[in-house]
Structure 1
Amino acid sequence: MKLILTNEVSGLGAPGDVVEVKDGYGRNYLIPRGFAIRWSRGGEKQIESIKKARDAREIRDLGTAKEVAGQLGALKVKLATRAGDSGRLFGSVTTGDVADAVKAAGGPILDRRRIEIVNPIKSLGSHKVSVKLHPEVSASIDVEVIAG
């Protein structure tokens, strides 16, 4: 099945890429979740607008990505959230919460779709979060979750 990606899919491609996937993967996962649309001649015209939107959000070059990674490495991010007496959170910390906390701490504005939380953050304390800034550059952020 031939698809046009509308969002970044790890291990598959970036928005605007035309990919060939198994029928079930496309029909049952990518299309219903809005990660892709079916390829067609009319869809080819949408590729340019998808790529323009991606370029506006993306960090331009490798040097800039390394500079932003350095800024993120030196940043102390504190995230205040509601928690119970035992230190367990009511809910969990999302990528949007992390992006807002980085911005509030004086860091660069990050796209929440680039932030990867490997293990769900459901307790108080220090946690590692990775950010994919560029295809070749990833940064790690220490997020201190405190009761607030």
Structure 2
Amino acid sequence: MKVILRERVETLGRRGEIVEVADGYARNYLIPYHIAVKASRENIRKIEEERKEYLAREAKRIEDAQEIASVIAKLQLTVTMNAHEDGTLYGSVSERTIVDALKEERVTITAQMVRMKQPIREVGRYMVPLHLHPEVDGEVSVWVVAEEAPKHAEPTGE
């Protein structure tokens, strides 16, 4: 049976493609779960309209992601953490920390967009990769600095 995919299916194809599948697979899985529709002239026309709308929305998402990437590329975030004298942090800088620091700069992204291989555990400058959209990646510069220890008041000796 020929069906039109309404969403991407790893083993079959991308959204909007017409593919040939077993009748049972189409009737029992793809069509009931709204993953595909039977390929008829009417359905092809509807899918084409949906595809045009989808492409317009996707173009807007890409444009927004590119705009965020250009703003982020100009930023230099500073994260202040408690650290040992040798520069090792007591904790670590995670994806959530980066998201919160960007939020202070009025840039909103999710923690899933931050692609750190591992948390930052030492003071220094790091380039943190971001995956803003499947077609848009970026990087943000992050300075991790040690928090100044509070200076204790010296006894006056009186």
- Shared fold, TM over 0.5: yes
Shift >4 Å, 4+ stretches = 16-20
The Cα of 1:59 is off from its aligned counterpart by 10
2:131 corresponds to 1:132: yes
Any stretches of 5+ residues in structure 1 without a counterpart?
1-15, 21-39, 46-57
Q: CA deviation at 1:120?
A: 3.1
Measure the CA separation in 1 of the matches of 2:117 and 2:139.
12
Partner of 1:111: 110
User: Deviation string for 1:54-92 (max 9, x for gaps)?
Assistant: xxxx99511111111000000110001111111000122
CA deviation after TM superposition for structure 1 residue 118, in Å: 2.1
1:59/1:68 CA distance change after superposition, 3 Å: farther
Q: 1:19 to 1:125 in 2, by over 3 A?
A: same
> 2:101 — aligned with what?
101
Contact 1:59 1:134 in 2 (8 A): no
Q: 1:82 to 1:137 in 2, by over 3 A?
A: same
Contact 2:95–2:119 (CA under 8 A) maintained in structure 1 = no
Distance change >3 Å, CA 82–CA 60, structure 1 → 2: farther
CA RMSD of aligned residues (A): 2.6
Unaligned ranges ≥5, structure 2:
1-6, 12-28, 35-57, 148-158
TM-score (norm 2): 0.55
Distance 1:60 1:75 in 2: 23
Q: Which residue of 2 aligns with 1:61?
A: 61
Q: What SS does the corresponding residue of 1:108 show, helix, strand or coil?
A: coil
Match of 2:142 in 1: 143
How has the CA–CA distance of structure 1 residues 17 and 85 changed in structure 2, closer, same or farther, with 3 Å as cutoff? Answer: farther
Residue 86 (structure 1) aligns with: 86
Q: Specify the structure having the higher radius of gyration (Cα).
A: 2
Preserved CA contact (<8 Å) 1:59 1:133: no
Deviations 1:15-72 (A, max 9, x none): x97768xxxxxxxxxxxxxxxxxxx99xx59xxxxxxxxxxxx995111111110000
Q: TM-score, normalised by structure 1?
A: 0.58
Q: Deviations over 1:71-129 (max 9, x none)?
A: 0000110001111111000122110001001112x141110111011243110010111
Number of residue equivalences: 100
Tell me the percent identity: 27
